[in-house]
Amino acid sequence: MPELKVEIDSELHALSNCTWITYRPCGCACGALTAAFGDEAFATEQQAWQELFPLKRERDKYQRQGYRLRLMSWDRYLAEVDLAAKCPHAKGETTQQTLDAANA
């Protein structure tokens, strides 16, 4: 398929050189989704949400809790995002209960 281009911060990037980063409500990154590979492409935030959470009620839940997706180039991701870093805001493992409490 033709290479898709996407504009981020007024720079053009090949979609296959980009990744969607998932951010927790506290602002820490917690996941990455390659924006394009093979015949798959997630060019819009909505498409990325649908790939990460196929069920609408899941998407609604995470969006309500304040999870955010952001598209960035791999270069930027490698320079700025460390998915292995521990979230300093969570006390221990984040459970559904603490998510609900934070959301109350």
Q: Is 89 in the site for Zn ion (CB under 5 A)?
A: yes
Q: Is the Cβ of residue 8 or residue 87 nearer to Zn ion in the bound state?
A: 87
Residues 19-58, interacting with Zn ion (CB under 5 A) = 26, 28
Q: Is 85 in the site for Zn ion (CB under 5 A)?
A: no
Q: Is 87 in the site for Zn ion (CB under 5 A)?
A: yes
Q: Is the Cβ of residue 26 or residue 78 nearer to Zn ion in the bound state?
A: 26
Q: What DSSP line would sit under 27-84, residue for residue?
A: S-EEEEEESEETTEE--SHHHHHHHH--SHHHHHHHHHHT-EEEEEEHHHHHHH--TT
Interface with Zn ion (CB under 5 A):
26, 28, 87, 89
